[in-house]
Chains A and B, each alone.
Chain A
Amino acid sequence: MAHAVAKPPRVTRRRTGGGPARTGGPARTGGPARRLPYLLIAPAGLLMLGFIAYPMLSVLYYSLRNYNVTKPWRNGYAGLDNFTRIFTDDPQFWDTLAFSGKWVVTEVLLQLLLGLALALLVNQTFLGRGLARALVFSPWAVSGVLTTTIWMLLYNPSTGISRYLADAGIGTYGTSVLSDTGTVFWAAVVAELWRGVPFFAILLLADLQSIPRDLYEAASVDGAGRARRFRHITLPHLKDAIILSTLLRGVWEFNNVDLLYTLTGGGPAGQTTTLPLYVANTGINGHDFGYAAALTTVAFVILLFCSILYLRLSKFGGETK
């Protein structure tokens, strides 16, 4: 009798094509069959909870608190005080946000242009192309801290380029581009370009190689020159790759801490301090984790808003005319 009662629902689920039951499983109980898919995705879900949701909720939680490990007697619920302080009483927030914007725009634009130029160059057929490609891509394999070490040696006034130039009578001894407020920004930009250009070159070269040669041949037959072929065939084909890579690079550059921290320490006089570097200083050196968490939350919202806006305005994934 029990058997007769349990059987029909199984048949029903199969006929109606209802979700989880489709995966099969013991007919009489139904429960394990329903749970199986959730069990299968549970590890991924737990990982997401542990590595994405928990840290984000944790930051949000601390952003609403006074939390300074060196003054535990002041710790406690702060409401929106940290956010109010950011927007009304922290000029350093606005300075570092402005510098972050300048840094991202400069870096992404220059890396894109130079990366595209290099990709077009190593996409041509010439003797030693393999070696040229390896050389172009090699800086991408170097870590941020190592990049800093290389460039600090190059910029060092005692052992770097300026010393040899001074020996040759060009410039003066003791020239330090990292200590001069007029040159430090571009010195840091060049060091980061060295590392970042290969990223664009690799991505764009991969996309360039997927453009059918027929298109270029047909355009040539129709009388299109090199510039017109680039404008009407190459660029439209690269559009999605460019949008995605600039977005990714923009986010990475916004969050850049390693190179600037090790190359300039955010100086001199705070002139190369990005918002994430300010957050790191506030939390790690200043021990004010509550305020640092609020700054992080604001930075996250800004990045999210800019990313959505960028994808909308650029019509990512849309048809190209």
Chain B
Amino acid sequence: MRTVATAPSHNGATPATTTRNQANKETNPMKPTRRRAPRTAAALVALLALTATACGDDGSTSGEEGSGKGTITFWDNNGGPRTKIWKQIIAKFEDKYPDITVEYVPIPIANVQSKYDTAIQSGGDSPPDVGGVGTAYLANLVAQGALDPVTDRIGDSALKGKLIKNMVESVRAAGGDDKELYSVPTSANQGTLWYRTDLFKAAKLPAPDSWDNFYKAAEELTDKGRNKFGFTLRGGAGSIAQALDMMYAQSGIPSFWNGGDAGDGEGGEGGEGGDKTTLNDPKNVAALEKYIALFKKVTPAADLNNDFAKMVAQFDQGDIGMLQHNLGSYVDHVRLLGKDKIAGIPLPPSRQGAARTIVSNPVDGLGLFKASKNKAAAWKFIAFAASPEMNSLWNEDVGAIPANVGAADDGWIAKAPPTKAALESLNDPRTKVVQLPYYLPDWNNISKADNEPSFQKVLLGKMTAKAFCDKVAKELNAAQADWKEHQS
């Protein structure tokens, strides 16, 4: 170590031999501030490095198969309405597998995607072992590398060949991977036209099984002076999904993409996977115009801000003739109105005698998270919940269509006419199913946050239906091109 003779301290103290560092510290109190600079810089660099790696473990770690025992975490993607039935299923599972404990976490449906995103980006143990996953946001989770493929696990289990083919294909398409399935489908939903049988009977109106009957009933059941309305629509969160159901069902256009022949409205050869959407086809624009014209004329003005909960509550607690929503609200209608006052049918075909056109509703399923450290136990839970008995139990409770073919013939379906009618229409070989592009990472943005304010502008007359359809179509076409570029 190099030594120096210390300079006399400024008070003239006895010089001493010491190291240069000590000399600096003791003879010049200001010196260390200069030496602090590198340390400060190092701290800042460390901080920036921490910031730069903030995403760090992004939840896409491969996890472990584990012992098949212990505790697993399950996130219910519709916590609240589904909590009771899930707790029943979990109790049965824990009876069968006493060495596995399932920690149930109910997530409100409106927040489920952001909760998953946060957990995945936080990494570590933040994501669950098993989570309820709808096809509407499946692509997002797959893009983040958060889910394990379950194709092989299904093939090696009792679920092999037991899941409804249409639902399996929907889940495969939504995941954006031609080969792998990223969730086990458990149920499907379908747009349904709900109507008040008591009001229709009193007004001597036929069931709204054609579009003419629908529009006629909407007008005749409206009496604004007495706070009675023929229809209620969804103008707030989720409005565009609802509108798409009504547009395609009326226009009869069988495909979401037309493969470049924009404007013919027939889908056809290009079909799914084409470059241009049929959303702004003149027939769809005309259908949207008819639908929008219902606002305020036969609906409450408050519909402008309706999300699904407000819309359903308004229908179930007021004097409103019809509502278009999926099967998921069946239980609420029966509970609040009584079974004898409510009926639900699939949306009518575009014209008398034509094939019915249905927009694919999200398929719900169970995903196995890649970061799980106990995948063996997690898979046991998924396989149990998707088994015929549990799948039947679950779907009977929520009024949806079961994914397990072993549950499809259960007696409760015959006693739930809306579910039965939905299942029949799905199984009808003439029915055209318009597959929405859930595989697009931008789908949720475009069909929700980015354009719901624009949809409200259309309702308010500040934007035309055509301008709205063109705007959304342009964004979808760009998203499709971007996705294809990424795939190639």
Contact = CB atoms under 8 A, between A and B. Distances in A.
A180 B305 CA distance: 10
A8 B449 contact: no
A268 B304 contact: yes
A16 B456 CA distance: 74
Given A30-B26, A49-B47, A287-B445, A268 B305 contact: yes
Contacts of B29: 18-19
A69 B117 contact: yes
B121 A58 contact: no
Interface residues of B, number: 59
A73 B487 CA distance: 11
Contact of A286 (B14, B52, B226, B450): B450
Interface of B is mostly: helix
Contacts of B445: 285-288
A17 to B, nearest CB: 11
Given A15-B11, A269-B460, A157 B302 contact: yes
A36 B485 CA distance: 60
A281 interface: yes
Contacts of A5: 14, 16, 18
Interface in A37-90: 49, 53-54, 57-58, 61, 68-73
A178 interface: yes
Interface residues on A, range: 35 or more
B449 A265 contact: no
A174 interface: yes
Interface string B457-488: 10110100000000000000000001000100
Interface string B5-22: 000011101101010000
Contacts of A179: 235, 301-305
A52 to B, nearest CB: 12
B25 interface: yes
A273 B143 CA distance: 30
B114 A176 contact: no
B56 interface: no
A282 B449 CA distance: 8
B105 interface: no
Interface of B: 9-11, 13-14, 16, 18, 25-26, 29, 47-48, 50-52, 54, 114, 117, 120-121, 139-140, 143-145, 224-227, 229, 235-237, 300-305, 314, 317-318, 441-442, 444-445, 448-450, 452-454, 456-457, 459-460, 462, 482, 486
Interface of A: 4-5, 8-9, 11-12, 15-16, 18-19, 30, 49, 53-54, 57-58, 61, 68-73, 156-158, 163, 166, 172-176, 178-181, 264-270, 273, 281-282, 284-288
